[in-house]
Chains A and B, each alone.
Chain A
Amino acid sequence: MSEFRTAKGGRICRKTPLNFSFDGQSYAGLQGDSLASALLANGVHFVARSYKYHRPRGIMSAGTEEASALVGIDRGKGRFDTSTRATTQELFDGLKAQSQHCWPSLKFDVGALTALGSPVMSTGFYYKTFMWPKAFWEWVYEPILRNLAGLGRAPKEMDPDNYSSIHAHCDVLIIGAGPAGLAAALAASQSGSKVILVDENNEIGGDLLNCPIAQIDGTNSWDWLAETEKQLASLPNVTILTRTTAFGYYDQNFIGVVQKLSDHLGSLENKPDNKTLRERLWKVRAKRVVLATGSIERPLVFAGNDRPGIMLATAAKTFLNRYGVKVGNRPLVITNHDSAYESAFDLAEAGVEVAAIIDRRAKISSKLVEQAGKMGIEILLGHTIVQTSGKHRVCSVRAAPVGENASIRKIKCDAVLMCGGWTPSVHLFSQSRGTLTWRDDIGAYVPNNYTQDATSVGACNGDFLMSQSLNKGAVAGLEAAVSAGAKAPKSTSYKVVNEALTSDIPVEEIGIFSTIGEGKAFVDFQHDVTAKDIGQAVREGFHSIEHIKRFTTTGMATDQGKTSNLNGLAIASAALERPITEVGLTTFRPPYTPTSFGVLAGYSRGDLFDVTRKSPTEKWAEQNGAVFEPVGLWRRARYFPKTGENMHEAVARECKATRTSIGISDASTLGKIEVVGPDAAEFLNRIYTNPWSKLGVGRCRYGLMLGEDGYIFDDGVVGRLSEDRFHVTTTTSGAPRVFARMEDYRQTEWPELKVWLTSITEQWAVIALNGPNVRKLIEPFVEGIDFSKDTFPHMAIREGMIFGVPTRLFRVSFTGELGFEVNVPSAYGLGVWQRLMEAGKKFDIVPYGTESLHMLRAEKGYIIVGQETDGTQTPDDMGMNWAIGKKKQDFIGKRSLVRSDMLAPNRKQLVGLMTNDANIVLDEGAQIMGEKSNVIPAKMIGHITSSYWSETLQHSIALAIIDGGRARMGEEIYISMPGGFYPARIVDPVFYDPEGERLNV
């Protein structure tokens, strides 16, 4: 057993030794240790280097407020956790920890040379230099600065672990399982209220864990804790979550909570397929929240207060009482608050020689003096520390009377325990947007006005005594349960003996700093912000606390100022000669402690990152070698390559087959809406630019939809099934917004119309068949529909059966060939598809995907909304004035079409382009110029919206929008692409079968 481990006591398991290593050196610890306590048990204090000056740093706390002792934990491939607080990492057998932010080693760190330049590297120095010569910033200064910064190690490998999330609802959420939280949980759970109790530590108890000598109602505190835990665990309405941090308090009592599940476990590699559930995100909605988040001890700001071995006084007490670890053989205490005496007394009780207690106060209670006297501890009243020594560990301090640099006395020690009072942890309360009020007696802000259904109890509310925590916690728990709807349970009161010491702290004592010579007195230990830095910021005119924070970076490190903010505020207040309450506060923001990206992403990783919508034939396409593309949330087949084919070859083959015999394609992704009711036609009149009243039953029409701003919004074919029933189709990705828009107008603008809408996208599978042989293919399998050319003309819809399955059969074409779109109930989609493929063999039927679809429609000059248009095109721009019902008084967007800029001459209009060189396929997106000119900025007259090699025409074709394009037919224009200017002629956008003869066969 090491000399720093006590003979007895603590909550570690002395029978279970654990091995671990730090920077390659092996050490022994015990089950129940934190990495920090295990290191201290081995006498290791120096574990880290600070951010800016690379100063040696030790372990300055025993909890989540730790700003200095950040290490890397290496758990094998993909499991390296950088900047982990040694104080919150539980020890497990085989744990490998490494120091970080130093090179080549912790002890010999080249980065420490920056300390030599530290007077020049005064706060905010980087705003003032590295500007000359200009080019040096990019190539020299910035890379050096970036390499010096960047505290943690960058990840290199994939993380094998899993993360999960869960929603939870409760009557009372209690955050913090110290005495206040436990008393609240006991009270709130009595009458059956659903209670969730969370605590960031590996066991409940909070401050009770540090106070084994306290007695609650005559019971030893640890026995009381065990009893309480047993009682709460037995209640079905109570959920206790340890290793669980409430990190964010959002609107309407929504709390983000992270539960750590495996960071404390050894050997994860043995798990099946090497996957471990690492963390779970609890998204808790609570009727009431009880904040019992405790308080954080403040460091004192004196010269050299950052050496390894210097820590918060309560940390030493925690290491002793909870972990059985003495933080040194000759610790010294510096304080301005009674509570530090407990640490001194507890250590002395454990046989440690306390070098002295230096108290900044001139007068303290006689009880403390007596007790110290009994234990043989010297007290230096009205003294402070003005300097410390020790390269990698504090070895002595120089003490002097407060306000004097005379009569300096050197005191040897191997640890310094400091206490500058206590700051209630109001982080979550402030995140909930409660407002704070300053309390002079404790020198801190406490909760004042609540904006959400919450209560703060115990130390986080400024009540530091255990008896206050227990009794006020009990009341808060009871009230919370009642306000969440429970019957009034009976009240409880607690009596505590031997509870913690507390004292007032004069406000002028906070953040006060003492130093002689050039010694650095640190405020923010991680970012190396000193008291002088804050003074300098104020001198430079940074007077708002936000400016001071940003200029000095105090409170901006990974601990977000848990130990530094109030000291910084107080020092700023003094420098500004303004009361602390007039200096302001920086905003508390989530998360309370750093929260992994993995747990925030939760299940939304890989295939589950987003919903994937699949059409009924998706599996068939997969089996038949389709290449897919994401379109909105859909996964659509892009093309079906045969062995050895590239995309262009496949598309050429697919298009040729469609033009000469039959192409088959899945169009199920098209949005479909059934519009029903006596006013259905009138409704569509108002939604679309086109007129609908006179559309005959059994006929279809292409419909164009605008926004109120007059720009094209969506399009699709609409079929009239009966007088009062329309089958509307939309674009694939536009379907949800079209439906929402229709519902919006129906419900809110025209509630008088008798019309009902149903989204039927998922109800109908749509198989598009195109090509001269299509009628021959399907006619034999269709019942109840007359297929003759005249009775079932182009742009018509019929209902009947195909392969014995009900169908809505559209005769429409997006390819310019004879086309049918076979709508069948989705469940039959794949079956019908397979039968059509089978029956189509004799016609050499070929499946095609979106790429050929786009190619075939481009040959016909059909637009795709979102490709030819980008949200700024009018119907006239697209040459589609024919789609506007001239006699209609109104439709969505009509009024906007007559605004001056919409009628401006020379708007960009849709045209076709034929390249002079038939083989040049233009780049989509390439810009068009009226002349070959290398002047920049160039005059661009339009751009290529679609461009393909047309197998049918044996010529490249393109669609474009060009300034005043329709009046420029035949003109030669130039497309600027890599390689030069490519000439092309402006032509009609319909390249193939302009008379539409192929449609009417």
Chain B
Amino acid sequence: MLLIDCPYCKEMRPEVEFSHAGEAHIDRPADPSSLSDEEWESFLFLRSNRAGICFERWYHIHGCGRYFNAVRNNVSEKFILTYPAGQKRPSDAQIKGALS
């Protein structure tokens, strides 16, 4: 069971308190009607899905009820960073820093 550091509760809590909420940093377009089918498909369905470092969202459903983002290595299952929703995607340097 993963241990997840909720950036709002500022506590490590077990995975069963959370639900995974998909890839992070996919902003809903401001005006979907202006998008082409391709662009809308990209927002709706196309995902990074790389092995290694991934950016993902978690919902602290049985806790504070907040959505937040995480950087995790999906091969080792190790969390690297968690941070509030709306915060910018961490840079490679920040990730490297957190890893060391």
Give chain B interface residues in 12-40, CB to chain A under 8 Å.
19, 21, 27-28, 31-33, 35, 37, 40
Closest A residue by C-beta to B22: A744
Q: B2 at interface (Cβ–Cβ under 8 A)?
A: yes
A740-B61 in contact (CB<8A): yes
Residues of A with C-beta under 8 A to B37: 899-900
A890-B1 in contact (CB<8A): no
Closest B residue by C-beta to A167: B14
Q: B86 at interface (Cβ–Cβ under 8 A)?
A: yes
- Bound form: Cα–Cα A251–B75 in Å: 11
B77-A251 in contact (CB<8A): yes
Which of A254, A743, A890, A899 touches B67 (beta carbons < 8 Å)? A743
Stretch with Cβ within 8 A of B (4 or more), from A139-147, A619-627, A745-753, A907-915: A745-753
Q: B98 at interface (Cβ–Cβ under 8 A)?
A: no
Residues of A with C-beta under 8 A to B31: 889-890
Which of B1, B33, B67, B77 touches A747 (beta carbons < 8 Å)? B67
- Bound form: Cα–Cα A896–B3 in Å: 37
Q: B89 at interface (Cβ–Cβ under 8 A)?
A: no
How many residues belonging to A are interface residues under a CB distance threshold of 8 Å?
24
Which of A250, A285, A749, A896 touches B44 (beta carbons < 8 Å)? A896
Q: A267 at interface (Cβ–Cβ under 8 A)?
A: no
B32-A894 in contact (CB<8A): yes
- Bound form: Cα–Cα A740–B59 in Å: 8
Given contacts A251-B1, A890-B31, A895-B33, A451 and B67 within 8 Å (CB-CB): no
Q: A709 at interface (Cβ–Cβ under 8 A)?
A: yes
Give chain A interface residues in 678-721, CB to chain B under 8 Å.
708-709
A748-B86 in contact (CB<8A): yes
B2-A890 in contact (CB<8A): no
Which of A251, A283, A285, A895 touches B35 (beta carbons < 8 Å)? A895
Given contacts A890-B31, A895-B33, A744 and B77 within 8 Å (CB-CB): no
A252-B2 in contact (CB<8A): yes
Q: B65 at interface (Cβ–Cβ under 8 A)?
A: yes
Residues of A with C-beta under 8 A to B57: 748
Residues of A with C-beta under 8 A to B77: 251-252
Q: B95 at interface (Cβ–Cβ under 8 A)?
A: no
Residues of B with C-beta under 8 A to A890: 31-33
Q: B54 at interface (Cβ–Cβ under 8 A)?
A: no
- Bound form: Cα–Cα A740–B61 in Å: 8
Q: B81 at interface (Cβ–Cβ under 8 A)?
A: no
B19-A895 in contact (CB<8A): no
Q: A648 at interface (Cβ–Cβ under 8 A)?
A: no
Q: A613 at interface (Cβ–Cβ under 8 A)?
A: no
Q: B76 at interface (Cβ–Cβ under 8 A)?
A: yes
Q: How large is the interface on B (under 10, 10 to 19, 20 to 34, 35 or more residues)?
A: 20 to 34
Closest A residue by C-beta to B3: A252
- Bound form: Cα–Cα A740–B76 in Å: 28
Closest B residue by C-beta to A744: B67
Which of A251, A433, A708, A889 touches B2 (beta carbons < 8 Å)? A251
Closest A residue by C-beta to B29: A895
- For residue B51, give the distance in angstroms from its CB to the closest CB of chain A: 15
- Bound form: Cα–Cα A892–B31 in Å: 11
A709-B44 in contact (CB<8A): yes
- For residue A247, give the distance in angstroms from its CB to the closest CB of chain B: 15
- Bound form: Cα–Cα A709–B45 in Å: 9
Residues 76-87 of B, flagged 1 when their CB comes within 8 A of A and 0 if not, give: 111000000110
B85-A451 in contact (CB<8A): no
B65-A743 in contact (CB<8A): yes
B65-A899 in contact (CB<8A): no
Residues of B with C-beta under 8 A to A433: 76
- For residue A751, give the distance in angstroms from its CB to the closest CB of chain B: 6
- For residue A673, give the distance in angstroms from its CB to the closest CB of chain B: 13
B86-A751 in contact (CB<8A): yes
Residues of B with C-beta under 8 A to A254: 1, 3
Give chain A interface residues in 426-480, CB to chain B under 8 Å.
433, 451
- For residue A902, give the distance in angstroms from its CB to the closest CB of chain B: 11
- For residue A248, give the distance in angstroms from its CB to the closest CB of chain B: 11
Residues 59-74 of B, flagged 1 when their CB comes within 8 A of A and 0 if not, give: 1010001110000000
- For residue B12, give the distance in angstroms from its CB to the closest CB of chain A: 9
Closest B residue by C-beta to A707: B44
Residues of A with C-beta under 8 A to B40: 895-896, 899
Given contacts A451-B76, A895-B40, A747 and B85 within 8 Å (CB-CB): yes
- Bound form: Cα–Cα A748–B85 in Å: 6
- For residue A890, give the distance in angstroms from its CB to the closest CB of chain B: 6
- For residue A484, give the distance in angstroms from its CB to the closest CB of chain B: 15
Residues of B with C-beta under 8 A to A896: 40, 44
- Bound form: Cα–Cα A283–B61 in Å: 22
- For residue A246, give the distance in angstroms from its CB to the closest CB of chain B: 16
Residues of A with C-beta under 8 A to B61: 740
Residues of B with C-beta under 8 A to A451: 76
B28-A749 in contact (CB<8A): yes
Given contacts A250-B1, A708-B44, A895-B40, A744 and B33 within 8 Å (CB-CB): no
Residues of A with C-beta under 8 A to B28: 749
B21-A744 in contact (CB<8A): yes
- For residue A285, give the distance in angstroms from its CB to the closest CB of chain B: 8
Closest A residue by C-beta to B75: A433
Residues of A with C-beta under 8 A to B27: 749
Residues 41-85 of A, flagged 1 when their CB comes within 8 A of B and 0 if not, give: 000000000000000000000000000000000000000000000
B59-A744 in contact (CB<8A): yes
- For residue B58, give the distance in angstroms from its CB to the closest CB of chain A: 11
- Bound form: Cα–Cα A744–B19 in Å: 12
Closest A residue by C-beta to B4: A252
Give chain A interface residues in 877-923, CB to chain B under 8 Å.
889-890, 894-896, 899-900
- Bound form: Cα–Cα A740–B77 in Å: 25
- Bound form: Cα–Cα A252–B66 in Å: 23
Residues of A with C-beta under 8 A to B33: 889-890, 894-895
- For residue A687, give the distance in angstroms from its CB to the closest CB of chain B: 13
- For residue B72, give the distance in angstroms from its CB to the closest CB of chain A: 11
- Bound form: Cα–Cα A744–B66 in Å: 8
A748-B67 in contact (CB<8A): yes
- For residue A37, give the distance in angstroms from its CB to the closest CB of chain B: 39
Residues of B with C-beta under 8 A to A708: 44
- Bound form: Cα–Cα A743–B33 in Å: 23
Closest B residue by C-beta to A256: B1
Residues of B with C-beta under 8 A to A285: 3
- For residue A611, give the distance in angstroms from its CB to the closest CB of chain B: 12
- Bound form: Cα–Cα A254–B44 in Å: 36
Residues of B with C-beta under 8 A to A895: 32-33, 35, 40
Residues of B with C-beta under 8 A to A283: 1
Residues of A with C-beta under 8 A to B19: 740
Residues of A with C-beta under 8 A to B65: 743
- Bound form: Cα–Cα A890–B28 in Å: 12
Which of A251, A747, A749, A889 touches B66 (beta carbons < 8 Å)? A747
- Bound form: Cα–Cα A523–B84 in Å: 56
Closest A residue by C-beta to B65: A743
Interface residues of B, Cβ cutoff 8 Å to A: 1-3, 19, 21, 27-28, 31-33, 35, 37, 40, 44, 57, 59, 61, 65-67, 76-78, 85-86
Given contacts A252-B77, A748-B85, A890-B33, 18 further A-B contacts (CB under 8 A): A250-B1, A251-B2, A252-B1, A252-B3, A283-B1, A433-B76, A451-B76, A740-B19, A740-B59, A747-B67, A749-B27, A749-B28, A751-B85, A889-B33, A894-B32, A895-B33, A899-B37, A900-B37
Sample 8 A-B pairs with CB under 8 A, ordered by A number. Answer: A252-B1, A252-B3, A252-B78, A254-B3, A285-B3, A709-B44, A743-B67, A890-B32
- 5 closest A-B pairs by beta carbon, nearest first, are A895-B32, A748-B85, A251-B77, A252-B3, A747-B67
